[in-house]
Each structure stands twice: as C-alpha cells, then as structure tokens.
Amino acid sequence: MSAFFGLGKTRTFKPRRDVPEGTKQYQLRKYAEATLGSGNLRKAVQLPEGEDLNEWLAVHVVDFFNHLNMLYGTITEFCTPNECPIMSAGPRYEYLWEDGVKYKRPTKLPAPEYVDALMNWAQGLLDNEEIFPNKIGVPFPKTFKDTIRTLFRRLFRVYAHLYSNHFDHICALGIEAHMNTSYRHFFLFINEFELVEKKELAPLDELNSAILAEDRAR
C-alpha cells in the first residue's frame, strides 16, 4: 500500500528546486518559464483560437496514452496478479472491465490484465482511421466526442491505480516528478474541456483539489 494516503494534509505541486544547472531538467524548467510563464500548464491546454476542437482533443489523448504506457511500463514488475489481484485505486475503488466484445459484462480482472486490456482497447481505437483519421482533410466522425470521453475516463483509472498502489515504486525509481507533471497536465486538460465527470475522479480528489487551488494561486 502506498505512502501516498498515509499523509494527512493536502499536498501541492512544486517544481523541484535543487536540479543542477546544465541538466536537461533545468533547461526544461527554464524553457517552460519562458514559454508558459511560471510553468502554468492551464494555458497550454487551452484550445488555440481557430483550431478544430476534435483535432486538439485527438492529439492530446494520444499523448496521454503514450505517457501512461511509459509510466505503467516502469512498474510492470510490481503490478502482478499476485500483488494487484483486482484493478483498484486504493481500498475504496475497484474497476471491472467491459469492452462489449471479448468482455460483454463487467468482469473482475487482476490489475495487469485490466490495464493490458484497457491499453490494447485504446490502441485499437487510436489506430482506427475511421475514428482517428490520419489523412489530411478527413473529418472526425459525429460520435467522436463520446469516444474521447470514454477514452479519458478509462485512462484516468490507470493514473489512479499508479498513484494509489504504486506511488512508492514510482518514487523509488525517481520518476514521481515526471508522473506528477503528466497527471497535472492530464487533469487540467480534462477539466478545461469537461471530459470526465467529477464522481469518476473521486479516487484522486485531494490531488485534483490541490491542482486547482494551485492554479488559482498562480
């Protein structure tokens, strides 16, 4: 079980201060300050004037899918059927998998199998050119927004599982700053476009409140 929930107070986000000059991370922080001003990702998620909303949603869901592939890939040795017999986000939330094809009813799966099914399902959608057209000029289908909402809702569950069940491993591997940045970006994005219902976000409520509070303070 994660140390994440052992802390009573609300945690805020903060750029790491002790990154040595000359490192790439230091350069990135300077670059972020120069391009975003104080590192505010809220501006980064906003739809540019004149841009097609569906295109903006599409490029970001692909990015977050890739982020999660990367993050989850680092802890596959620790997310095993033995240690994660159900797909959970802490002790109070459990997810069952249903895709309407292979799993026609909500099915209890160990976390690694759930994540694998979810990511394969998502990959199938992202690769489907009738839903995510690659060719220039081909429009998105009318149902695209619904597809996007389902994708984001399910991708959230992987973040929730990582934070709730593998935060110690993530910290020990030195990638918590990267996961925090990615999740903050993800959350600001879904908040901006109201893509996931608040009740679905309950497992990470504290984190989400902290992100919004911090945002208002900038």
Partner 1 sequence: MHTARADTTKANDNISPRHRKLLASPEVQRKATVAQLYFLDYYFQHLGYISARKERRAKFDEDTEVRGLTHSEHQREWKSYCGRERVVLRRRRAKLRVEQFHIITQVGQGGYGEVYLARKQETGEVCALKRMKKKTLQKMDEIRHVLVERDILTATRTPWLVRLLYAFQDNLYVYLAMEYVPGGDFRTFLNNTGIMHEKYSLFYATEMFVAVNELHKLGYIHRDLKPENFLLDGIGHVKLTDFGLATGALNPQRIESLRIKLDKAKDNKIVQRSTMERRSLFKTMQRQNPQWADSIVGSPDYMAPEVLRGKPYTYAVDYWSLGCILFELLAGFPPFTGQSPEETWTNLQKWPEVLNRPVYDGDDAEYNMSDEAWSLITKLITHAEVRYKSLDDLKTHSWVEGVHWEELREYEAPYVPELYADTDTRYFDDFSSEDDMAKYQEVRDKQKNVDEVEEVDKPTGRGVWVGFTFGKSGPNAKALGAMGAPDENGALATIF
- State the binding site: 79, 84, 161, 166
Specify the stretch interacting with partner 1 by CB under 8 A; choose among 41-49, 91-99, 142-150, 154-162: 41-49
Query: Count residues contacting partner 1 (CB under 8 A)?
Result: 78
| Feature table: binding site for Zn(2+) | 79, 84, 161, 166
The single residue among 89, 111, 115, 122 that binds partner 1, judged by CB under 8 A, is 115
List binders of partner 1 among 48-67 (CB under 8 A): 48-52, 55-56, 58-59, 62-63, 66-67
List binders of partner 1 among 185-214 (CB under 8 A): 207, 210
Q: Which of 197, 198, 207, 212 is nearest to 41 (CA)?
A: 212
* SS3 at position 97: strand
Q: How far is CA 135 from CA 59, 138, 145, in A?
A: 14, 6, 19
Structure tokens at 65: 């899918």
Cβ 204 vs Cβ 159: under 8 Å: yes
The single residue among 93, 173, 200, 215 that binds partner 1, judged by CB under 8 A, is 173
Q: In the complex with partner 1, which residue's Cβ is closer, 18 or 194?
A: 18
For residue 151, count other CB atoms closer than 10 A to its CB: 23
90: left (phi over 0), alpha (psi -120 to 50) or beta: left
Q: In the complex with partner 1, which residue's Cβ is closer, 13 or 103?
A: 13
Cα atoms in the Cβ-side hemisphere of radius 13 Å centred on 102: 7
Q: How far is the CB of 76 from partner 1 (least distance, A)?
A: 3
Specify the stretch interacting with partner 1 by CB under 8 A; choose among 22-30, 90-98, 151-159, 195-203: 22-30
